[in-house]
Amino acid sequence: AVIRAIQAQMPWKLCEEDARAVVKFFQEKGVKVIAVTKRSPQIRESVHAQLMDNGIDLTQSAMIADDAVLELDGAVYYKGVLYAQSDKGSSLKSLLQKANWNWQDRLIYFVDDRKSHLEDYEKSFRSEIKMRAFEYTYSHSQYVDEAILSLQLQDFLSGNPIQEDSAYLQPK
C-alpha cells in the first residue's frame, strides 16, 4: 500500500528524451503501442496523467477506443496501459484475445528492462507470432555504449533488424 501511494504521488520523467518521439513515430505509422507494467491498476489515473505530462498519449493507439476499464484474466487495461498482475506475456495475450486482435501473421516488438519479462512474452506466444525482443538497459548506463545504442536505434526506426553489439564494432 505504501509503494502504491508513493508511485501515485511521485512525479517521474522519461529516462530517454527520445521516448515520446519514438512512440509518436510508431503511432503515426498505425502501430499499436501498448505499455505493459507490473504496477497496480489502482494507480491507473496517476499513471495516465504522468504519461500525458511527459508527452506520451497511448490512447491514440489504444486497443479499445473508450475510457472503459477492461478487466482481464490477471490484468487490467486502461487508456493504452496494461497493468499485468500475473506475468506480462499471459496478460498481453489475454488483452489481444479480448480485443479480438489477430496477432498471428504480425511482427511484434517487445521492449522491456527485464529479461524475465521478455521470456514471459516468448513463453506465452511461443511460435504463434514473429517477435523481436529487446532488453532495454539504459538505466544501467555503465553497460551501454552510446554510439552502438544510437546505431541500433537508427536500424530499429528504419525497420532494419537490430544486430548484436559486436556487429556495430566491426569496420564497414
DSSP state, residue 138: G
* pLDDT at res. 55: 92
Query: What value does the mean pLDDT of the chain take?
Result: 81
* pLDDT at res. 67: 75
Q: Find the angle CA(142)-CA(51)-CA(141) to the nearest 5 degrees.
A: 0
pLDDT bracket for residue 76 (50, 70, 90)? very high
Distance separating alpha carbons of residues 66 and 53, to the nearest angstrom: 20
Res. 141: pLDDT tops 60: no
Res. 143: pLDDT tops 60: no
